[in-house]
A = this chain, B = another copy of it.
């Protein structure tokens, strides 16, 4: 099937497969070189960047739809995924925008379920950067990581969806463990602290951080130190999977959020 045929098919018959009016969009976070990054698609016909997203099959849970999309874009399953907000502006996606897209793609369609209004549900995902093999979808030129402080221009309301995802991740960080999916299997305490500082966009006190994170019980020290470092060799730590999984259900103490978190405060 040619791309043009595929697009036409989706616009003309997609509603037989998917629910009308509802989509999901995924904000995929990765941590690398002390930077928090997000995975974006280059929407070929719009010349802008987009969050990976898609539609919900008629008998599919919304979480399953998000997982399917994540799997397609990253090659990974068993990703940590959190639904965070539904975006419902009636003008967030319009017939006009879709017709422009079709025109750029060389297709012409008069009526489509895609011209109707869409409410999109945002999910954020935390992934191991080193394990992701980014794969573009068929309407995108490429799939790339961006430093969250240097984001390119994005389509529709995707920048706002990203902002809300980051705000929610910061709030969640105070109640739920974060890190297992973002760090290597073993890590030093400074590496873990750097992850928290990068997400929260603020400095944390070293001793307080170590005391509080150890008090949660989700991290345990290994009997092994990091080699080839200039100063005193730091110990390696790892997550206690049993306690970590439990904390995902019940929450941990609110241990880093003492000061106000600024909205969109990057």
Contact of A60 among B60, B90, B253 (CB under 8 A): B90
Distance in angstroms between the alpha carbons of A20 and B22 in the assembled complex: 9
A211 in the interface, Cβ–Cβ < 8 Å? no
A174 in the interface, Cβ–Cβ < 8 Å? yes
Question: Are B88 and A63 in contact, CB atoms less than 8 angstroms apart?
Answer: yes
Contact of A61 among B88, B249, B255 (CB under 8 A): B88
Distance in angstroms between the alpha carbons of A165 and B174 in the assembled complex: 18
Distance in angstroms between the alpha carbons of A260 and B254 in the assembled complex: 8
Question: Are B257 and A174 in contact, CB atoms less than 8 angstroms apart?
Answer: yes
In the assembled complex, the CB of A46 is this many whole angstroms from the nearest CB of chain B, namely 25
A86 in the interface, Cβ–Cβ < 8 Å? yes
Question: Are A258 and B254 in contact, CB atoms less than 8 angstroms apart?
Answer: yes
What would 17 more interface pairs be, CB under 8 Å, given A19-B117, A21-B21, A62-B88?
Answer: A19-B119, A20-B20, A20-B21, A21-B22, A22-B119, A61-B89, A63-B88, A86-B121, A171-B251, A174-B254, A175-B257, A247-B260, A250-B261, A250-B263, A251-B261, A253-B259, A255-B258
Distance in angstroms between the alpha carbons of A171 and B56 in the assembled complex: 29
Q: Which chain B residues border A226 with CB–CB below 8 Å? A: none
Contact of A253 among B19, B83, B257, B263 (CB under 8 A): B257
Q: Which chain B residues border A252 with CB–CB below 8 Å? A: 260
A85 in the interface, Cβ–Cβ < 8 Å? yes
Chain A residues packing against B (C-beta within 8 Å):
19-22, 56, 58-63, 83, 85-86, 88-90, 117, 119, 121, 171, 174-175, 247, 249-255, 257-263
Distance in angstroms between the alpha carbons of A257 and B258 in the assembled complex: 10
In the assembled complex, the CB of A32 is this many whole angstroms from the nearest CB of chain B, namely 28
Q: Which chain B residues border A90 with CB–CB below 8 Å? A: 58-61
Distance in angstroms between the alpha carbons of A41 and B159 in the assembled complex: 39
Distance in angstroms between the alpha carbons of A149 and B162 in the assembled complex: 37
Q: Which chain B residues border A171 with CB–CB below 8 Å? A: 171, 175, 251
Question: Are A117 and B262 in contact, CB atoms less than 8 angstroms apart?
Answer: no
